[in-house]
Structure 1
Amino acid sequence: MASPDQDLAPALDKDGVRLTVDDTLATVTLTRPAKRNAQSPALWRALAEAGRSLPGTVRVVVLRGEGKSFSAGLDRQMFTPDGIPGEPTFTDLARRDDAELDASIAAFQEAFTWWRRNDLVSVAAVQGHAIGAGFQLALACDLRVVADDVQFAMRETSLGIVPDLTGTHPLVELVGYARALEICVTGRFVGAEEAVSCGLANLAVPVGELDAAVRDLAGALLAAPRDAVVETKALLRGSGARSYEEQCAAERAAQARRLRDLAGVGE
């Protein structure tokens, strides 16, 4: 895929992650195409840093991967006995006490959690393979636009581990428990047509049209007033934890804030 942000000076460019900002739109690009954008702890730290680096003007964040694959999952070197130089091996992690191991995984998850902040709308542009950690990174975003060659797969269970990079919650939300269980336990591929039909993706387009489709969607998202988008996203994200009556009350409170803001009336 050609980079839509190639003419912008990067705000961050390290460890396989490039962040560019164009006023209200930010683009985070995975930049390891020779390794199919395989992920490592260093890449996760860079993704977390990208989230912390966003200026307050940003309203929409696009996540994309260079090359033919969005992200083929964990760097295979992580599965070797020696692991990645300078990073803990799986054996090193397993030998840590409960608190240390929990903190280590939580630090990895930071790369995946900031995409759903209420002040942002995040869009993953997904082509080719999105496997394991790559699948979970796409799931971390609010919306997904996929190319017709996309291949989602959750391979962790077949390796004797579990998806632990925040992907299980959104996967169940999107496709339901039964299909999520089947996808995770079998490790099978989910293509573009099924991804759209089951709610995993918002839209599928030919691979050559992916960037244009994402730009169009980002423009539509930016057309709505920011404060209304923030309130609406907060309402929708919180709805699953509220009863019907509680959601009605949350709607009333949000609308009161919007009406008073539009009328210039202080609370």
Structure 2
Amino acid sequence: MASPAQDLGPALDKDGVRLTVDDAIATVTLTNPAKRNAQSPALWRALTEAGRLLPGSVRVVVLRAEGKSFSAGLDRQAFTPEGFDGEPSFLDLARGGDAELDATIAEYQEAFTWWRRSDIVSVAAVQGHAIGAGFQLALACDLRVVADDVQFAMRETSLGLVPDLTGTHPLVRLVGYARALEICLTGRFVTADEAVSTGLANLAVPPAQLDDAVRDLAAALLGAPRDAVIETKALLRGALERDYEAQRAAERAAQARRLRDLAGLGE
């Protein structure tokens, strides 16, 4: 698939991650198709850096990947005694202290966290395999548009691990506890039809139409005023944590801010 912003100079291009910005739309591309965009600590740091480099003009962030697979998950080199060059191996991390191990995992999670920021709407364009860390990276985004060849799978539990890159919270929210548990414990593939029917994906299209569908969605997301989008996103994200009366109060407070802003009475 051709990049929707490939003629623009990249703001970041390293360790399998490229960031380009076209006014209100930023595109983060995974750029190692030869390894099916397998993930590593270096890639996670590059993703974190991409989030920090976003200009204030950006309202929509598109996450996409080169090649036939979105991301085949964690690079298996992580489980070798040698690990990655210049990185502690996972075996070394396991032998370290609790605080050090917790801090390292927290650092890795940062690559998956900033996509939920209230000032942006993030859209994952997912084709082919999205396994393990790849599945969790797609889940980190607000919306998902998938090619009809997509295959999601959460394989961590099958490997004796757990999904720890922030994917469990959105997965349960999207498909419910029972289905999320079954997906994680069996490690089975979730296809495009199931992803759409369960709410895991917003839309499925043929692979050749994926970029166009995401581009159209990004343009539609820019149609509403930015402050209204930010307030609406915050309301919806907090709805499951609030009871009915608290949500009513949150709606009233948000609407009061919007009305005052539209009347020129905002702070």
1:83 is matched with 83
1:139 is matched with 139
What TM-score do the two structures reach when normalised by structure 2?
A: 0.99
**What whole-Å deviation, never above 9, does each CA across 1:53-86 have from its counterpart, x for those lacking one?**
0000000000000000000001121122211111
How far 1:168 moved relative to its partner? 0.2
1:168 is matched with 168
1:255 is matched with 255
1:19 is matched with 19
**What one-letter code is carried by the residue in structure 2 that aligns with 1:166?**
T
1:40 is matched with 40
2:58–2:120 Cα contact (<8 Å) kept: yes
2:241 & 2:3 partners in 1: Cα distance? Answer: 39
2:70–2:129 Cα contact (<8 Å) kept: yes
2:257–2:266 Cα contact (<8 Å) kept: no
1:265 & 1:45 partners in 2: Cα distance? Answer: 41
What TM-score do the two structures reach when normalised by structure 1?
A: 0.99
**What one-letter code is carried by the residue in structure 1 that aligns with 2:43?**
L
2:222 & 2:75 partners in 1: Cα distance? Answer: 35
1:189 is matched with 189
What's the RMSD between the two structures over aligned residues? 0.7
- Number of aligned positions between the proteins: 267
**What whole-Å deviation, never above 9, does each CA across 1:177-209 have from its counterpart, x for those lacking one?**
000000000000000000000110000000000
Deviates more, 1:140-149 or 1:72-81: 72-81
Work out the percentage of aligned pairs sharing the same amino acid.
84
Give the secondary structure class of the aligned counterpart of 1:195. Answer: helix
**What one-letter code is carried by the residue in structure 2 that aligns with 1:130?**
A
2:96 & 2:250 partners in 1: Cα distance? Answer: 42
How far 1:87 moved relative to its partner? 1.1
Stretches of 4+ aligned residues off by more than 2 angstroms: none
Q: Does 1:118 align with 2:102?
A: no
2:154–2:163 Cα contact (<8 Å) kept: yes
1:23 & 1:208 partners in 2: Cα distance? Answer: 25
**What one-letter code is carried by the residue in structure 2 that aligns with 1:140?**
A
Q: Which ranges in structure 2 are unaligned for 5 or more consecutive residues? A: none
1:66 is matched with 66
**What one-letter code is carried by the residue in structure 2 that aligns with 1:163?**
P
**How has the CA–CA distance of structure 1 residues 128 and 266 changed in structure 2, closer, same or farther, with 3 Å as cutoff?**
closer
2:241 is matched with 241
How far 1:109 moved relative to its partner? 0.1
Q: Does 1:178 align with 2:175?
A: no
How far 1:266 moved relative to its partner? 3.9
